[in-house]
A and B are shown apart, each in its own frame.
Chain A
Amino acid sequence: MPRAMTSARVRVAVLVAAGIALLSTSPTTQAPPAGSAPAPAFDISGYWTSPLHEDSMERGAGPEIADYGGFPISEAGRLFALSYDPSRLTLRHHQCDGYVMPYQLRALGNSRAWEERDPHTHTLVAIHWFSQTFEGKRTIWMDGRPHPPAYAAHTWMGFSTGRFVGNALEVRTTHLKQGWFRRNGLPESDQATTVEFFVRHGDHLIHTAVISDPVFLSEPLVRTTDFYRQPIDHQSWLFPCDDGEQILGRAPDDVPNYAFGQNPFVGEYSKKHQMPAIGQLGGVATMYPEIEARLRSARMGDGMEAARPTGPVVTSKAANPEPTDGDVHIWPLREKLYMLTGDGGNIVVQTGDEGAFVVDTGTGSLAARTIAAIRRLTDNPIQFIANTGFHSDRTGGNVALRAAGADPSLRGTFFSLQFRNAGSQATIIGHQNLQNRMSEAGMNSEGFPTDTYLEERRRTFHNGEAIEMMWQPNAITDGDSIVHFRRADVIVAGNVFTTTQYPFIDLAHGGSVAGEIRALNEILNRTVYQHQEEGGTIVVPGRGYVSDEHEVVEYRDMVVIVRDRIRALMKGGATLAQVKAARPTADYDARYGATTGRWTTDMFVEAVFRSLSDSQKQAK
């Protein structure tokens, strides 16, 4: 063999050896830099199908009525579910309700997951999961971004962030809408948060959800769901839904529901399955092994007392969505509209080529910061201030904001010939009754509306947008308005709608429960959802987080249902004390209730009671 050829073979062998050595050593050099996120432990991408080998009735045809066994629900959760009438789904604003995560993941149907990578670094930015049923699309952010503030909007899928821990994908979710644990009325509140774990074993994906809900659960609910990887496209991904008229001629304040203890179907499950109520009606005890022995010795009716309010009075377990750091925070809504929050009541600012159009001014204790925040949004002056109500959380900053603004549209008019200072301050718009109430209350006249209206609506076209201000007679007071920015499609609801408390029905200033329901329905008459009762028209509550029609309809339902209960008790001859003792708000108190402060549960119940009494007197 020629010497040159032998040397070449030696060189090749050494190169191979070096290559093998490199293959062995490279992992050390490929270790991720300190502090970076762990690399994905598995690939979740692909088509997934859940085999429905657990809870197939519930997840397929549907659960049985009043079957809550194994759910660690609170009294509020149980009473809400027992009050639920499935006919509620015939209401226009419920027909296309989406599924809330994680209920969505247990639904029948196909799923698809894919990764989103940074195009330059190829680091994992997000994992996307699409479920066919109700076209639920969620994004799990993997790039370390923070969750949005508590006053941001809630969605069916919530806001999720993830990280890989060991061999699992761990996901945290907040900002969920109110939805279902089970679609027989068992509710998951908008205060629920979840921690989830995904693990993959070959073509088998297991999803574990730990759901904490301070309103409707007493302990976290754990659910595990299996998926199997499909090698081909399911070719079935859509779930269209448009609402329509299902029951003609129904009154707009008709929300199907059962009074406490009056659900006629509660006993069906018990009878069919010979299941004592202590199991059927759920609660923490039903998910632990000891329930098996208890059920062996229980009689059929045992535990049925839980179908009525029996527990102690509770107060709101909801997190306060308003910042309390002494600053005014800006949150973009849509186009050139912003929500300012932090001064005790939400403020909305529209900017553009003309001056700023501001709706409500907060309590005024942070007025200087509110003005500074508006200056950050626009160089133009505050030109208009619209008030949705006369209470101090709507008008408290009127004087300061008015003084800080100017209304150029008044300069050079006949008006300015009559009044030397015309246009030197912002113009305040409100219903005439609002001005009357401010005057009666002895509020600073510098903050009174300077431009009032008397009937139906006030309209203007400002900053390239139609703005309507609509009177809501006898709702919170007799001078409330809602404001609709029509191009941006943002409705500012004032205290007619909040996410923080029962409606502050101010009987002494012309409020009524009927007017409040009418006002909420007026908002719902104007909203258009984008997809499955979500998105579309933005509704800014007087207090609380940015909403859409789903939050409004749940709130409307609550007011109607509480009214129905109190009205039924009154028909039975109950006194105010007896009505309060019956706890007609028992399923909502953990969300909105209060025993101290400016607006307690008792005050709300009394306001509804007296409002209904007044209506009865007027009818006679």
Chain B
Amino acid sequence: MKQVRWAALAALLIATTFGIVARAQRGGPPGPRTPQQAAPTDLTGYWVSLVTEDWRYRVVTPPKGDYTSVPLNPAGRKVADGWDPARDNAAGESCRAYGVGGVMRLPGRLHITWQDERTLKVETDYGSQTRLLSFTPPASAAPDWQGASLATWDRSEPVIGGGFFGPAPAAGGSLKVVTTGMKPGYLRKNGVPYSAGAVITEYFDRFNVPDSDPLLVVTTEIVDPTYLSQPFWTSTHFKRQADATGWNPTPCRAQ
């Protein structure tokens, strides 16, 4: 019996040793890397939105009640039909359309930097908002327009990996961001609502376009049973700029 235990221990030792050697042979680092070091793609820099879709809903404030394309449920339509920008202004909530559920669709520029090695900072000039995408679960705080965003690197990996079952993870990857705990806001400037209970999942993908500027595509899924009858999907694209040209911070405007 003792011999069996020793054999099992030896087996574990062999497996661990070979595994470490194998990982080292694959070029893996000896210790954990920070999210910044582990980034499979570089999202930093200045990005300008290319407004080629939903154009009329993004470059001007549409009239009240125009929520074409958005899968609102009856409660959502009721809120949208009652939109009153003057009331928002009076309540000091002129940034309702600049919250996490709507800000990426607005016509503006992004400035993405690493605030620290575990936090990406996304600043917008349109509405002068700041989003912090943290790779560490954010501490609970009072809701604000941008909420609490938990970031992870999303890679294409085999469900059962290694050995006979599958290859190493694919190269490259995306930034996945899940945001909760925000103040209720607007999907569009004309008061199309999302609630404080919404869960917003985003993927940030960078594409290096041959012979052209890189693109950033932010794919957004908003799940909000309070106001939406089904998840709301959009994909928003930005072109990389070499510098801050055109960066023009402006305040929130309710209309």
23 A–B contacts, CB within 8 A, in A order: A6-B3, A14-B7, A17-B15, A20-B15, A23-B163, A24-B23, A25-B19, A30-B167, A38-B171, A42-B156, A53-B233, A54-B69, A164-B170, A167-B156, A172-B210, A204-B203, A206-B219, A208-B215, A222-B50, A223-B53, A224-B237, A286-B59, A291-B51
Enumerate chain A residues within 8 angstroms of B13, measured Cβ to Cβ. Answer: 17
Known pairs A13-B4, A16-B11, A55-B54; A275 contacts B70 (CB<8 A):
no
Known pairs A27-B22, A55-B54, A279-B59; A6 contacts B205 (CB<8 A):
no
User: Cα distance A565–B88 when bound, in Å?
Assistant: 53
Place the interface of chain A in its size category: 35 or more
CB distance from A371 to the nearest CB of B (A): 41
Question: Are A23 and B50 in contact, CB atoms less than 8 angstroms apart?
Answer: no
For residue A269, which residue of chain B has the nearest CB? B56
Q: Which residues of B contact A (CB under 8 A)?
A: 1, 3-4, 7-8, 10-15, 17-19, 21-23, 25-26, 40-41, 48-56, 59-60, 68-71, 107-109, 126, 154-156, 161-165, 167-168, 170-174, 176, 203, 205, 207-210, 212, 215, 217, 219, 221, 230, 232-237, 239, 246
For residue A26, which residue of chain B has the nearest CB? B163
User: Cα distance A224–B54 when bound, in Å?
Assistant: 11
Enumerate chain A residues within 8 angstroms of B208, measured Cβ to Cβ. Answer: 165
Question: Are A201 and B233 in contact, CB atoms less than 8 angstroms apart?
Answer: no
Question: Are B164 and A23 in contact, CB atoms less than 8 angstroms apart?
Answer: yes
CB distance from B176 to the nearest CB of A (A): 8
Q: Which residues of A contact B (CB under 8 A)?
A: 1, 6, 9-10, 13-14, 16-18, 20-28, 30-31, 38-39, 41-42, 51-57, 67, 69-72, 164-168, 170, 172, 195, 197, 199-201, 204, 206, 208, 210, 220-226, 228, 273, 275, 279, 286-292, 295
Question: Are B172 and A168 in contact, CB atoms less than 8 angstroms apart?
Answer: yes
User: Cα distance A34–B23 when bound, in Å?
Assistant: 20
User: Cα distance A23–B23 when bound, in Å?
Assistant: 11
Known pairs A14-B7, A167-B174; A288 contacts B48 (CB<8 A):
yes
Question: Are B171 and A167 in contact, CB atoms less than 8 angstroms apart?
Answer: yes
Question: Are A53 and B207 in contact, CB atoms less than 8 angstroms apart?
Answer: no
User: Cα distance A273–B68 when bound, in Å?
Assistant: 14
Enumerate chain A residues within 8 angstroms of B26, measured Cβ to Cβ. Answer: 27-28
User: Cα distance A186–B143 when bound, in Å?
Assistant: 45
CB distance from B102 to the nearest CB of A (A): 14
Known pairs A71-B52, A167-B155, A201-B174; A195 contacts B210 (CB<8 A):
yes
Question: Are B235 and A54 in contact, CB atoms less than 8 angstroms apart?
Answer: yes
Enumerate chain B residues within 8 angstroms of A22, measured Cβ to Cβ. Answer: 18, 163-164
Question: Are B11 and A13 in contact, CB atoms less than 8 angstroms apart?
Answer: yes
Enumerate chain B residues within 8 angstroms of A1, measured Cβ to Cβ. Answer: 1
- Determine which of A56, A225, A289 lies in contact with B49 in the assembled complex, contact meaning CB atoms within 8 Å: A289
Enumerate chain B residues within 8 angstroms of A9, measured Cβ to Cβ. Answer: 3-4, 7
Closest 3 CB pairs of A and B: A166-B172, A23-B163, A17-B11
Question: Are B68 and A57 in contact, CB atoms less than 8 angstroms apart?
Answer: yes
CB distance from A138 to the nearest CB of B (A): 20
Enumerate chain A residues within 8 angstroms of B234, measured Cβ to Cβ. Answer: 53-54, 226
